[in-house]
Amino acid sequence: MPVITVRIPRELKEAMEKLDINWSEEIRRFIARRVDEELRRRKLDEAIATLRRTESVEKGFAEKSVREDRDSR
């Protein structure tokens, strides 16, 4: 597994050592969550861009289509 090194202030490191927390696991989970959020955001941005590029339908199209479907029965 690759290793990432992060520099933090000495005071923060001392405070972290006083707590009974598995910091490696906490940081791994945070990074995984953050990566997932960023990938989702990018997919959403991509979908929005696609929607903006597509042409919209004429006003009243849905109503007209439903009416035609009902009348054809």
What is the structure's pLDDT at 55?
84
What is the structure's pLDDT at 14?
98
CB 14 within 8 A of CB 7: no
What is the structure's pLDDT at 4?
95
Output the six-digit token pair for 6: 């992060």
pLDDT < 50 positions in the chain:
none
What is the structure's pLDDT at 59?
87
Place of tokens 């923060």: 12
What is the structure's pLDDT at 16?
97
What is the structure's pLDDT at 25?
97
What is the structure's pLDDT at 49?
96
Residue ranges per structural domain of the chain: 23-71
